[in-house]
């Protein structure tokens, strides 16, 4: 399946562009604030388009074309006692490669890859996820536009993903500013 490989490369590119600190002690809220602050700092040529509520829009260029994305860090992470790297949700645009509103989650831990029952939930709508390495995406490509539409209308996005170590993790993302960040990223990549 080529979809995860392309996405893994995309997430690796984005991760290289975003300064990501290791979670320090001080609770999930403090970690989310540190991760959000790190996400707001462009690195290696990424240009910050702007901050929009709890989201930031960026534009960068990979070897083929412009890449624009809206990114946010979770506001809360459970269980709180686990040591994890920072997590992010990305909604990516690569118009020259016909990538539109591609949602990916950098989990901050390796996912259990088979039969985990991972989901993203917005306004009661559930979207099945699959994880590979430290990243997760919707299982069905057709769910991408439905998830993005739900994110535009919702207040929170909640992911429930089982780690390779067997822990059920729950990350809650604020959707405040998502629509404007998405709009700015789409416009920047036209």
**Confidence (pLDDT) at 44:** 53
Query: Domain spans of the chain?
Result: 2-188
* Residue 190, pLDDT score: 86
Sign of CA dihedral 61, 97, 55, 84: negative
CB 85 within 8 A of CB 118: no
Vertex 70 angle, CA 79 and 52, to 5°:
90
Task: Tell me how far apart the alpha carbons of residues 125 and 164 are, in angstroms, rounded to a whole number.
Answer: 25
- Alpha helices, H only, 25-142: 27-39
pLDDT in tens, 88-120: 999 999 999 999 999 999 999 999 877 668 999
Angle, alpha carbons 60-66-67 (nearest 5°): 60
What's the pLDDT score for residue 178?
98
- Nearest-10 crossing angle of helices 143-153, 178-188: 130
Q: Cβ of 106: how many Cβ atoms within 10 Å?
A: 24
Under the phi-then-psi rule, with left for phi > 0, alpha for psi from -120 to 50, and beta for the rest, what region is 142?
A: alpha
The token pair at 52 is 């929009």
pTM exceeds cut of 0.85? no
- Name the nearest CA neighbour of 106 among 13, 2, 1, 3: 13
Average pLDDT by consecutive 10-residue portion of the chain (190 residues)? 41 39 41 47 68 94 84 95 91 92 94 83 96 93 96 97 92 98 95
User: H or E element: which one contains 102?
Assistant: strand 99-106
3-state secondary structure (DSSP) of residue 37: helix
The reported pLDDT for the residue numbered 115 is 60
Which fold is adopted by the domain 2-188? Immunoglobulin-like (2.60.40)
């Amino acid at each position: 399946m080529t979809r995860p490989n392309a996405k893994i490369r995309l997430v690796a590119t984005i991760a290289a562009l975003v300064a990501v600190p290791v979670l320090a002690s001080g609770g999930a809220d403090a970690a989310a604030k540190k991760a959000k602050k790190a996400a707001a700092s462009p690195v290696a040529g990424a240009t910050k388009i702007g901050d929009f509520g709890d989201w930031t829009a960026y534009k960068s260029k990979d070897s083929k074309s412009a890449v624009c994305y809206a990114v946010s860090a979770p506001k809360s992470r459970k269980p709180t006692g686990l040591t994890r790297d920072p997590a992010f949700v990305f909604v990516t645009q690569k118009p020259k490669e016909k990538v539109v509103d591609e949602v990916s989650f950098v989990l901050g831990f390796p996912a259990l890859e088979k039969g985990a029952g991972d989901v993203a939930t917005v306004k009661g709508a559930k979207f099945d996820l699959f994880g590979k390495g430290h990243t997760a995406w919707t299982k069905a490509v057709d769910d991408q536009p439905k998830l993005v539409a739900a994110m535009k209308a919702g207040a929170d996005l909640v992911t429930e993903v089982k780690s390779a170590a067997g822990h059920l993790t729950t990350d809650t993302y604020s959707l405040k500013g998502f629509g404007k960040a998405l709009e700015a990223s789409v416009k920047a990549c036209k």
